Amino acid sequence: MLDALVKYARDHNIFPEPGFKPKRVRWNIVFDQEGNYLDVHGFGDEKNPGKEFPKCPDLSQPEIKRGGPGCRHFLIDNAEVVVLLGLDSGNPKIALKQQQKHNYFINLLRKGAVALPELSAVVTSLENTLKIERIRESLLEKGAKKTDAVSFSIFGRTPAVLVEDSSWHDWWREFRGAFGKDDTDTTPTSKESHMRCLASGKLVEPVRTWPKVRGLADVGGIASGDVLASFKQDSFRSYGLEQSLNASVSEEMAHALRATLDNLLEGHSRRLAGMRVIHWYSGRAEVPPDKDPILLLDNGLHFLSEQDNPEQTERDAQKRAGDFLDSLRTGDIPDLIAYRYYMLALSGASGRIMVRDWMEGQFGELATNIWTWFDDLSIVRSDGNGLSSPPKFMAVLGGMVRDLKELPNPLVGGMWRTAVKNEPIPIQAVARVLERMKVKIIKSDKNDPVYPWQPGLIKAYHIRRKRGDGSMTPYLNEEHPHPAYHCGRLMAVLADLQYAAQGDVGAGIIQRYYASASSTPALVLGRLVRLSQVHLSKLDGGLAHWYETRIASIWGAIRDNVPAVLSLEEQSLFALGYYQQKAQKKSNDKPAQESK
């Protein structure tokens, strides 16, 4: 995993120097060359606030701790630190901390004037009570928040924004080198004490504390960032190795890995319940979106739709999705066959990063597996008119629960791996979707119908459990070998018969008997078939004969094998038979069609 991340950093030129990192700045305070305040300029807009500067000074959290009270960064900090915006004068302790941070920041600017002489005049203005009050008023008028990042520029200077000037780089390296050392620092320094870097394989002086990775705050992480490796309990501190020394990497590699994860989390990740999944490819060029199987898995057919064409029909989108899937199945992607895919699932846990899964393999294998996922899920629409559209991955998972928050992370991760690696579907997923289907069927609420991907997941489970037996088809299979499937079909026909004879009676046989029939059919179905004679007597001859024929045909498929009790897997076959029989009826009893 580390090797693949380092390779990504090299391929994309993401090798930040320790002490530097990209930062996004929202506000720029403009001075003239004599240090007189001119104005506040905002970078970006409300939809895309801020401008990212690729190389900004940065101190790690341990360095800030060693810096003492008020220790802050150089050149860029938030408005609260730079100009005391939002100073809490009502709380002396908080106000004192704010003032300490401001004083430290100003003092650091004063030291940096060795490299950037213009900073002397900036410091003079920031120490002037009237001038700093004017700056605060300007920031407030423009809607600035105390947490917004602020930097400086000099009007008429090139470059105007001081952080873009490389003149301060050498001074900052020297300052940080001296600043980062501490008499109490026990990091090994002799060559004999050097350790093997897990990322580069070289003998290095290992970093004691990893830099923090941002981007996991919505999946259990903290806003300030989480570390990839750290050890606190004695049980993880073998041979007296503390902090991150049990997973030794050089400072350069630690920062490269942090920058790579930041980059991938920002631009190449998706949230799946309580975790974030990153994916990328190795190859000569980026994989275009219309050739990326993960995007189809993530978005169903929606990303193939013309966003600027509101009149595009679902049939058009369905065809494009089918063409996409066919290109994966037939291998019509020669330029991408040699690519490899990499996939990393992460979540936060009390300031640490939890690696939930790691997958890698050939692009062709991934493409085939994604095509197989959708092929296994394919199922007739509930109205019987063709196959349902390829669903979003999270829609499939949403069919298992009332609310996505109820999904446990292990199940989400297991299902994602199922789709990507063509692995069996967990029985827990079938149990959950079966329960949701039962509730929806009994409620018979048009506003909360059974979604096609619910029985589709049941179908996929059985296909992957016993691939190649041919009994699992998208449409109704009147030759299915298991009686539980036909018991479900019979329940659907009996419910339709009651409706044809009596109309909407409120609590019909589905509301009263579906739950028991789907678990103990032998106790229920015989009674319902006898009751059906009453319903048949209320129909005209032709329709009554049609229902009699359907019931007799299904009984012929069951024979004398009405199960007394259905296992969980058999209950899922009951639900699948019920759904496909209902869909067949709604399509005016069209003949069973071939699988796509």
Write down the pLDDT at residue 284. Answer: 67
- Report which residue type is found at 119: L
Same domain for 417 and 558, yes or no, is no
Query: DSSP class of residue 33?
Result: T
Last residue within a domain, chosen from 141, 163, 179: 179
What are the tokens at 546?
């049609």
Q: Please give the Cα distance from 464 to 496 (Å, whole number).
A: 32
Which H, E and C letters describe 143-179, residue by residue?
CCCCCCEEEEEECCCCCCEHHHCHHHHHHHHHHHHHH
Same domain for 488 and 507, yes or no, is yes
Same domain for 31 and 100, yes or no, is yes
Same domain for 156 and 198, yes or no, is no
Work out the burial of residue 51: count CB atoms within 10 Å of its CB; fewer than 13 is exposed, 13-18 middle, 19 or more buried.
Answer: middle
Residues ≥6 apart with Cβ < 8 Å to 342: 4, 8, 279, 280, 281, 282, 359, 360
Query: From edge to edge, which strands make up the β-sheet containing 37-42?
Result: 37-42, 27-31, 149-154, 77-78
Q: Please, are residues 213 and 353 in contact by the beta-carbon 8 Å criterion?
A: yes
Which residue from 148, 172, 168 is spatially nearest to 159, judged by alpha carbons? 168
Residues ≥6 apart with Cβ < 8 Å to 472: 459, 462, 463
What are the tokens at 352?
């640490």
Asked, for residue 438, whether it belongs to a domain, the answer is no
Asked, for residue 592, whether it belongs to a domain, the answer is no
Which residue from 258, 227, 53, 84 is spatially nearest to 151, judged by alpha carbons? 53
The per-residue b/e assignment along 492-523, b for 16 or more CB within 10 angstroms, e otherwise, is bbbbbbbebbeeeeeebbbeebbeebbbebee
Which residue from 205, 156, 161 is spatially nearest to 180, judged by alpha carbons? 205
Q: Which range marks the domain in which residue 402 is found?
A: 270-423
Same domain for 88 and 210, yes or no, is no
Centroid of chain to Cα 418:
16
* pLDDT one digit per residue (tens) for the chain, 596 residues: 989 998 888 888 787 788 888 899 999 999 998 889 999 999 987 777 899 998 999 987 778 878 888 899 999 999 999 999 987 777 888 889 999 999 999 999 999 999 999 999 999 999 999 999 999 999 999 999 999 999 999 999 899 999 999 999 999 989 987 765 543 444 444 444 688 888 888 888 888 888 889 899 999 999 888 988 877 767 666 777 777 778 888 888 888 898 899 999 988 898 988 899 999 998 767 888 777 888 888 876 544 444 444 344 445 655 665 666 666 566 666 677 778 999 999 999 888 899 999 999 998 888 889 889 998 999 999 888 888 888 889 999 999 999 888 888 889 999 999 999 999 999 999 999 999 999 999 988 777 889 999 999 999 999 999 887 888 999 999 999 999 999 999 999 999 999 999 888 878 899 999 999 999 999 999 999 999 999 999 988 889 999 999 999 999 999 878 999 999 999 999 999 999 999 987 665 533 333 33
Last residue within a domain, chosen from 372, 406, 423: 423
Residues ≥6 apart with Cβ < 8 Å to 318: 301, 389
Same domain for 386 and 327, yes or no, is yes
Asked, for residue 476, whether it belongs to a domain, the answer is no
What are the tokens at 14?
């993401």
Asked, for residue 257, whether it belongs to a domain, the answer is yes
Q: Please give the Cα distance from 353 to 356 (Å, whole number).
A: 9
- Report which residue type is found at 581: Q
Asked, for residue 361, whether it belongs to a domain, the answer is yes
Same domain for 69 and 105, yes or no, is yes
Which residue from 39, 283, 222 is spatially nearest to 139, judged by alpha carbons? 39
Q: Please give the Cα distance from 350 to 227 (Å, whole number).
A: 10
Write down the pLDDT at residue 109. Answer: 95
Asked, for residue 444, whether it belongs to a domain, the answer is no
Write down the pLDDT at residue 592. Answer: 39
Same domain for 63 and 161, yes or no, is yes
Write down the pLDDT at residue 479. Answer: 92
Q: Please give the Cα distance from 520 to 523 (Å, whole number).
A: 6
Which residue from 149, 151, 23, 2 is spatially nearest to 75, judged by alpha carbons? 151
Asked, for residue 496, whether it belongs to a domain, the answer is yes
Same domain for 263 and 274, yes or no, is no
Residues ≥6 apart with Cβ < 8 Å to 364: 331, 333, 336, 337
Which residue from 198, 228, 230 is spatially nearest to 213, judged by alpha carbons? 228
For the whole model, what pTM was predicted?
Answer: 0.73
**Domains: count for the chain:** 4
Q: Please, are residues 269 and 215 in contact by the beta-carbon 8 Å criterion?
A: yes
Same domain for 508 and 550, yes or no, is yes
Asked, for residue 462, whether it belongs to a domain, the answer is no
Same domain for 238 and 327, yes or no, is no
DSSP letter for each residue of 485-552: HHHHHHHHHHHHHHHHHH---SS-HHHHHHHHHTT-HHHHHHHHHHHHHHHHTTS-HHHHHHHHHHHH
Residue that has been written with the tokens 């999270």 in this structure: 394
Last residue within a domain, chosen from 267, 300, 328: 267
Same domain for 261 and 274, yes or no, is no
